[in-house]
Amino acid sequence: MCEVCNEKESKENMMRHSMAHVMAKAIRNLYPNTKFAIGPAIDNGFYYDIDLDQNIGEAEFEAISKEMNKIIAEDQVFTRKVVSRDEALKLFSDQPYKLELIRDLPDDETITVYYLGDDWYDLCRGPHVPSTKYLRGFAYQFNRVSGAYWRGSEKNKMLQRIYVYGFTDKAGLKECLRLVEEAKERDHRKIGKDLGIFMLSDLVGKGLPMWLPNGFTLRRIISDYIMNKEISLGYLHVMTPSIGNVDLYKTSGHWDHYKDDMFPAMQLENEAFVLRPMNCPHHMVMYKNSLHSYRDLPIRIAEVANDFRFEDSGTLIGIERARCFTQNDSHIFCRPDQIESEVQGIIDLMLSTYKDFHWEKYRFRLSLRDPNNKEKYFGNDHLWEISENALRQILKNRGVKYYEAIGEAAFYGPKIDVQVESALGHDITLSTLQLDYQLPEKFELEYIDENSEKQRPVVIHRAIFGSLDRTVAFLLEETKGALPVWLSPVQVRLMGITENNNSYIQSICEKLRAHGYRVDADMSNEKIGKKIRSAQLSKIPYMLVVGDKEEEAGLVAVRHRSEGDKGTMTLDEFIKLIDTAIAEKI
């Protein structure tokens, strides 16, 4: 059964799907022992999963393509035939995957088989193009082959999934290939390597990125930026350990609800420790460490903290998805009557941060509990209703556009997430905000109200950079590595026309560093053209070129990485220029 039959039947999809049958027949002609699984249309073409001892790869694509073109040229006809279950089982007696699909069909299902020509048929609901002459204008190109488990389960055999790009016309294919190339260019793993941002090593461990000098500088700037902003908003920064006693996570509920995503416990002396997957439990214990009056609230504890989660090795993506990451986290302890103003304050902080980073393509998502799967969450219906409605109301009042997503809540409460799409097309969460009545209950947190009575505070979890690492990945992909001046690990590179200019360069370098700019110098004996190219490749925003003429006049020739020659000026004039760029965050 081709999965595509359930998809919307646009003309393009019907052609893609028909092409999948053509490819299957071509493969059968070339490799008669092939066992076929499924062959749906997808966003940019189609694929077919096959079981064949021989590996299919680039070397085989040409022959398969030639065979496909032959079938198309022969104008072979697609013919629909209704068959009984017994007939179907007989027709596919040498195709074990098709047999499994047939056996799984409901008893009352009409089974159809489509013939392509006289000597090939496939199990399918259709529809298809009437004959292959309708595929003559179809533009396709083999993409790649990857492993795919039969029915997506690791328990089953790994099949070969042959991906093909396919569009109704050449223009569609061309645009798709252009976007694929651009995505490759933007891939943060490539840029991260080229610009010396981070490295990975199997010896260190899969999914454990190490930040190189340029990368660490970039992280430090982002982390300083957000901490300074938080300080101006009354947040208090703290530091807590990266591991915790298992009992801490039993108290918080993570041990019951989140254990599968955590690294296993380390048993030592009479304690069991785990690497922390998040910082909330530590912060709860910290709040509880002292007495709080209603007058002290809200208390906003913040930490730029390392967390560890166990991700399958197959799902790791550079610094976008790793096993160790850093959160720009905060827990706000407040009275129920302060929820609205606190949440609004957080949304404002998000919006002003995105503005500084020039991010515009974000989407607010209200992440709700799945009411059909209540056992996944804790707390009662009443509290869930109150908190879901509260967040919805605040988003409405704030006039923020948002959409709702059922089943995306945290196990302890609903969330507001801010989603962006990465260059590789992944939907990722930049920021998050979660309302929580449960952890204060679990940790028995209290404050004393105006009547000297004990009350439970509400906790708001929030991370503007939910993962600093993912933020860096996103930034690299958005800017193709050409970071704005305020974020560039190296803002200025100095270079002399000849080695004679090196001591003058050295003195300018020191002056600029003393002013707080991040500067380096190219002292190599390469030609100036080569030095400029190297700085361009490193995406350094400003290049200061100095020859004998500039040195004698006490000037510098300024080049910008995208604007080119900016003319000759004094160092003070250059400082004014770069300060403006930094202030405007461009």
* Least gap, CB of 463 to Zn ion (angstroms): 8
Closest listed residue to residue 544, CA positions, set 516, 514, 520, 527: 520
| Closest separation in Å from C-beta 14 to Zn ion | 9
Write out the DSSP string of 286-323: HHHTS--BGGG--EEEEEEEEEE----GGG-BTTTB-S
Query: From CA 96, how far away is CA 114, in angstroms rounded?
Result: 18
Which amino acid, one-letter code, is at 131?
Answer: S
Going from the C-alpha of 282 to that of each of 203, 231, 303, 440, the distances in angstroms are 31, 21, 11, 12
CB 531 within 8 A of CB 522: yes
CA dihedral 100, 161, 192, 536 (to 10 degrees): -160
Does position 2 bind Zn ion by CB under 5 A? yes
Minimum separation from the CB atom of position 151 to Zn ion (A) = 18
Least distance CB 124 / Zn ion (angstroms): 3
CB of 54 to Zn ion, least distance (A): 25
> Nearer Cβ to Zn ion, position 124 or 368?
124
Give the residue, chosen from 22, 71, 124, 129, that forms a contact with Zn ion under the rule CB under 5 A. Answer: 124
Sequence-ordered list of residues with C-beta below 8 angstroms from that of 475, at least 6 positions apart, any chain: 218, 357, 483, 487
Residue among 41 and 195 whose Cβ is closer to Zn ion: 41
Q: What residues between 250 and 309 interact with Zn ion by CB under 5 A? A: 280
Residue whose CB is less far from Zn ion, 323 or 461: 461
DSSP state of 207: T
Q: List the alpha helices (DSSP H) in 379-527.
A: 381-398, 438-442, 468-479, 502-514
| Residues 11-40 interacting with Zn ion (rule: CB under 5 A) | none
What would the DSSP string read from start to end of 540-582?
-SEEEEE-HHHHHHT-EEEEETTTEEEEEE-HHHHHHHHHHHH
Task: Give the distance from CA 384 to its chain's centroid.
Answer: 29
**Residues with catalytic function:** 280, 309, 327, 329, 331, 415, 461
**Which residue number, 460 or 521, has a Cβ lying nearer to Zn ion?**
460
Site map (CB under 5 A) of Zn ion, residues 442-471, x = contact: -------------------x----------
Provide the minimum distance between the beta carbon of 195 and Zn ion in the complex, in angstroms, as a whole number: 32
Is residue 159 at the binding interface for Zn ion, with CB under 5 A as the rule? no
Part in contact with Zn ion (CB under 5 A); list of ranges 72-80, 92-100, 118-126, 349-357: 118-126
DSSP 8-state secondary structure symbol assigned to residue 524: S
Nearer to Zn ion, 25 or 561 (CB): 25
Point out which span in 119-127, 398-406, 503-511, 564-572 binds Zn ion (CB under 5 A): 119-127
Instruction: Give 124 or 433: the residue with its C-beta nearer to Zn ion.
Output: 124
- The span from the CA of 532 to the CA of 516, in Å, is 23
| Residues making contact with Zn ion (CB under 5 A) | 2, 124, 280, 461
